[in-house]
Structure 1
Amino acid sequence: MPPAAASNLGYTPPDGGWGWAVVFGAFISIGFSYAFPKSLTIYFKEIQEYFDVSYSEIAWVSSVMLASMYAGGPVSSILVNRYGSRPVVMVGGVMVCTAMVLASFGTTIIHLYLCIGVIGGFGLAFNLQPALTIIGTYFHVKRPMANGLAMTGSPVVLSTLAPLNQFLFDSFGWRGSFLILGSIVLNCCVAGSLMRPVNKNASPEPKAEASECNGAAVEETAGTPSANLLTEENQSGSKSPGCMDKFIDFSLFKHRGFLIYLVGNVVMFFGFFAPVVFLAPYAKHLGIDEYSAAFLLSIFALVDMFIRPATGLIGNTKLIRPRIQYFFSFAVSYNGLCHLLCPLADGYVGLVVYAVFLGLAFGMVSALLFEVLMDLVGAHRFSSAVGLVTIIECGPVLLGPPLSGALVDIFGDYKYLYYACGVFMLVPGIFFFIMHYFNYKRLDEEQRQAEAVDMRTSYHSCEEAVELKTGRDDKTVPETEG
């Protein structure tokens, strides 16, 4: 394990204990957040026929839900900063349940947009962001591993919900299935109940000078050269967030590492989801039967399921952890290369090989996506950071698949879609490599300057102490006999 460093929290995270129960709760909450919009596509064909709408109109149900989940990030951040993760996740579970129950009585496609898309999407936002935030309060040394295990919830829940939804659809139709799914998603409330706030008084962090702002300890100084462990003055050019920033920290837009992450991710998300969405249609386009095409997604999900915790373990090693941003840059670039080479895959065997490598690439990025953000801004600012990032990423998440589909409509061939997605992933991957090289270099320089200032301050303090003692000795005159 790498040595524990200052956590910017004002206390030492337990890195275990009840934290593993919290990881299990986050596993469930994150799993439903990412898997639920994808799993609902099983019902689309019957709903499309029932309401007599086009495929593009019915496809907006999942798109609006996913976009609402990202757009609800800042609201979720404000609530988490004010009330903590536990109540927010439980409210989110109730919202998604309510959305599914109301949708089961839907009479128009607009009704589904509002219920599933908007209400359900915001409920998923209340499940996702608090689950990511609370892991940073319980873990520091083992945080990459904990994040990797929690993010594994997405492929596990998806692989469970897909066959379950098919069974419910065959047995009860889409209306009855929505009622049952509403009760199933209440498990998020159980997951939220596990997210007990960390006991900050149990193990105070040594030599940490902290100030209180609305009950949240914010460390004033830090002392290691990691990307998130320098002073906020060095990182952003401004002081740490004050009490006026209690709701959401907009000073992050002056934070160098945060801006690097944000710019790269906005470009990356235009090509992140589309290759997965169009994998089965691409296989059918090549003349592969629909069951074999669907099996490609199963292969992808299986590989994704195992690579996420493995990525967390690798990211937690002594070699990778101090420069984990390079690991993330490699994962993004690797995604781009996979997509660029996909059109060269020959026949079904070639697509199986691509599905395996796509699962590796997608799982690596997913496992590191929020860990590297926490590494850049620190755990105490992560809640605000992820809220700001998700609302900005809402646009690429919503527009990426439709734009990719438009390329298929224009050229009549899927290979141009994969070329475009490859470029959208490879360019930000190279951007991350270059910018993080200069960012790490700058951080090392700032660390050396901070150490030099500390040495000079200590030297002057010693001089003043010597002068003060000398002055006292000079004033002391020994008594002599007359």
Structure 2
Amino acid sequence: MGQLLNAWRKERNRDRKAANINTEEKRAPSHRTPGWRLGMDDSASFLSGLGFACLYQTAAVMTARYFKKRLALSIAIARSGMGLTFVLAPFTQLLIDIYGWQGTLLIFGGIMLNLVPSSMLLRPINLKYSQDSPCKNKGNESLTHDKHSAAVTDHCDENSSKERELKGGLGQDYIVTSKCQSTGTAGCVVTVDSISLQRPEKDPFNSKSSEPARKTESSCNNLQWAKEKPKSQPAPSNQLLFHLSLLKDPFFCIFTWSFLFSQLAYFIPTFHLAARARTLGIDNMSASYLISVAGITETVSQLLSGWIADQNWTKKYHYHMTYLTLCGITNLLCPLATSFPLLMTYTVAFSIFGGGYLGLLLPVLVDLVGVPRLHSYLGFSSFFAGIAAITGPPIAGWLYDYTQTYACSFLFAGTCALISPISFFFVPLAQKWKLKKEDGLSIITT
């Protein structure tokens, strides 16, 4: 899009210069460029940026709602296309040469409009699970849900118990809590809202008699639900999409700190790698080859890091910290690369570690705050990270102007990458704080 806007700006500036010359020579106001045309560039930049921002966050949140067991790999697949953007530059230039910037904009607009029917497939999920006690299905439980019915089957041993609490009134919701202990499954809590159960109807001839709510114990074999009534309920008033109280949440501060410094450092090597190669006497073709290798390596690295994180060998934020630390060390060693083979080695190493931590950004946030609050946390933290992303390259450019060497830019990027994972050392303290807060609330309610 930058090449398109540059081509657009060149033609606009050409018309503006022609208008200025005509104005100076002929003093004819009719040759001046219209004001609406002068603002089209800024409007296109604003609208495209706004659209991509909304598109990224919505797709990320919906992906997190759909996938549980393979969340990291699914996010890595969704983000892997970002590493292939090096193909977009020559493709865009080819389209501009053939169709001009007007036709190229129409082609890209048609490609983006294909996301509209594909986004219609992202339908909401009605059944919700308790986020405090996640349960892994290993063949012991099966859940079937369609348009007309929802069935929940739990296989437990003899010691398992199921409690059903029926709240009075036909319009009330029913909450079923199922605790089961079996091989590989312990402490599973399933909460189903807005589901009507089959129960005997009241005697129409004896309307005065009112039966109290009963607590029944069902068998451990299965639990059959009746037809579900899909109804859209308004969101509770206490669940806001944006609230300044997020700043008091330690998990938000931990993630935002890391996200901010990682984005502050990420774009600097990408922008200054080719320039540093040219200062070392490397030709432009070889310098562009470094960028292509970086894009391919980053794509493969994201897929591998997502698959490794889903194996649950350790916590996801541990992988995230490791990738960030190695990325910072790699950037600090970049000034030592003074030849093309050494620069290629740096490019591959930086792309591996950079793609590794980029693929785990969303899974780490899901582990910290959960899926229900993901939209607000991701949006607010992305705001600060976006400011850092547009601030990092100008700071690196100022360092080059001051020192006349790109080594300081890579040193600055490496320092920011090493500062980024420091906040994750406070995750255990934040978890203890959360447990104390929940215990205090439970004492107050009881």
- TM-score, normalised with respect to structure 2: 0.67
Residue 258 in structure 1 maps to residue 252 in structure 2:
yes
Q: How does 1:138-149 map to 2 (within 5 A)?
A: 138-149=66-77
- Asked if structure 2 preserves the Cα contact closer than 8 Å seen for 1:169 and 1:177, the reply is yes
Query: Residue in 2 aligned with 1:309?
Result: 303
- Asked if structure 2 preserves the Cα contact closer than 8 Å seen for 1:106 and 1:112, the reply is no
Out of 405, 418, 421, which is 2:397 matched to?
A: 405
- Asked if structure 2 preserves the Cα contact closer than 8 Å seen for 1:146 and 1:312, the reply is yes
- Asked if structure 2 preserves the Cα contact closer than 8 Å seen for 1:249 and 1:385, the reply is no
Q: How big is the shift at 1:184?
A: 1.5
Q: How does 1:378-417 map to 2 (within 5 A)?
A: 378-417=370-409
| Distance (whole Å) between structure 2 residues aligned to residue 119 and residue 205 of structure 1 | 48
Counterpart secondary structure, 1:400? helix
| Distance (whole Å) between structure 2 residues aligned to residue 171 and residue 208 of structure 1 | 69
| Distance (whole Å) between structure 1 residues aligned to residue 250 and residue 176 of structure 2 | 19
| Distance (whole Å) between structure 2 residues aligned to residue 333 and residue 118 of structure 1 | 35
- Asked if structure 2 preserves the Cα contact closer than 8 Å seen for 1:249 and 1:381, the reply is no
Q: In structure 2, do the counterparts of structure 1 residues 283 and 52 end up closer, same or farther at CA, with 3 Å as the change threshold?
A: farther
Counterpart secondary structure, 2:264? coil
Query: Residue in 1 aligned with 2:292?
Result: 298
Counterpart secondary structure, 2:48? helix
- 1:190 is matched by which residue type in structure 2? P
Q: In structure 2, do the counterparts of structure 1 residues 49 and 372 end up closer, same or farther at CA, with 3 Å as the change threshold?
A: same
- Asked if structure 2 preserves the Cα contact closer than 8 Å seen for 1:326 and 1:436, the reply is no
Query: Residue in 1 aligned with 2:426?
Result: 435
Query: Residue in 2 aligned with 1:348?
Result: 340
Counterpart secondary structure, 2:333? helix
| Distance (whole Å) between structure 1 residues aligned to residue 94 and residue 280 of structure 2 | 29
- 2:410 is matched by which residue type in structure 1? Y
Query: Residue in 2 aligned with 1:112?
Result: 41
- Asked if structure 1 preserves the Cα contact closer than 8 Å seen for 2:252 and 2:381, the reply is no
Query: Residue in 2 aligned with 1:244?
Result: 238
Q: In structure 2, do the counterparts of structure 1 residues 187 and 132 end up closer, same or farther at CA, with 3 Å as the change threshold?
A: same
| Distance (whole Å) between structure 1 residues aligned to residue 112 and residue 417 of structure 2 | 33
| Distance (whole Å) between structure 2 residues aligned to residue 280 and residue 373 of structure 1 | 33
| Distance (whole Å) between structure 2 residues aligned to residue 381 and residue 372 of structure 1 | 13
Structure 2 runs not aligned, ≥5 long? 15-34, 128-144, 155-161, 166-173, 180-187, 189-234
Query: Residue in 2 aligned with 1:475?
Result: none
Q: How big is the shift at 1:219?
A: 12
Between structure 1 and structure 2, the one with the greater Rg is: 2
Q: How big is the shift at 1:273?
A: 1.3
Q: How big is the shift at 1:148?
A: 1.6
Count of equivalent residues: 334
Q: In structure 2, do the counterparts of structure 1 residues 358 and 295 end up closer, same or farther at CA, with 3 Å as the change threshold?
A: same
Structure 1 runs not aligned, ≥5 long? 1-39, 54-104, 211-216, 223-228, 230-240, 458-482
| Distance (whole Å) between structure 1 residues aligned to residue 410 and residue 117 of structure 2 | 40
> 1:106-157: CA deviations, max 9, x gaps?
843x421221x2111111122101100011211222212221221212224x
- 1:165 is matched by which residue type in structure 2? T
Out of 81, 92, 100, which is 1:173 matched to?
A: 100
> 1:44-103: CA deviations, max 9, x gaps?
6644543449xxxxxxxxxxxxxxxxxxxxxxxxxxxxxxxxxxxxxxxxxxxxxxxxxx
- Any runs of at least 4 consecutive aligned residues in structure 1 with deviations exceeding 6 A, and if so which? 203-210, 217-220
Q: In structure 2, do the counterparts of structure 1 residues 332 and 106 end up closer, same or farther at CA, with 3 Å as the change threshold?
A: farther
| Distance (whole Å) between structure 1 residues aligned to residue 252 and residue 424 of structure 2 | 15
> 1:248-302: CA deviations, max 9, x gaps?
3544323221111112222332212121122112212222111111111110011
Q: How does 1:20-169 map to 2 (within 5 A)?
A: 40-43=1-4, 46-47=7-8, 49-52=10-13, 107-108=37-38, 110-115=39-44, 117-156=45-84, 158-169=85-96
Q: How big is the shift at 1:381?
A: 0.4
- 1:345 is matched by which residue type in structure 2? A
- Asked if structure 1 preserves the Cα contact closer than 8 Å seen for 2:254 and 2:424, the reply is no
Q: In structure 2, do the counterparts of structure 1 residues 219 and 418 end up closer, same or farther at CA, with 3 Å as the change threshold?
A: farther
| Distance (whole Å) between structure 1 residues aligned to residue 91 and residue 75 of structure 2 | 27
Q: How big is the shift at 1:197?
A: 2.1
Q: How big is the shift at 1:159?
A: 4.2
| Distance (whole Å) between structure 2 residues aligned to residue 209 and residue 125 of structure 1 | 44
- Asked if structure 1 preserves the Cα contact closer than 8 Å seen for 2:327 and 2:354, the reply is yes
- % identical aligned pairs: 25
- Asked if structure 2 preserves the Cα contact closer than 8 Å seen for 1:325 and 1:436, the reply is no
Counterpart secondary structure, 1:197? coil
Counterpart secondary structure, 1:308? helix
- 2:43 is matched by which residue type in structure 1? L
- 1:436 is matched by which residue type in structure 2? V
User: Quick check: 309-318 or 193-202, which moved more?
Assistant: 193-202
Q: How does 1:350-365 map to 2 (within 5 A)?
A: 350-365=342-357
- 1:336 is matched by which residue type in structure 2? G
Q: Which has the higher helix share?
A: 1
- Asked if structure 2 preserves the Cα contact closer than 8 Å seen for 1:296 and 1:355, the reply is yes
- TM-score, normalised with respect to structure 1: 0.62
| Distance (whole Å) between structure 2 residues aligned to residue 417 and residue 247 of structure 1 | 37
- Of structures 1 and 2, the one with the larger relative CO (CA 8 A, separation 6+) is 1
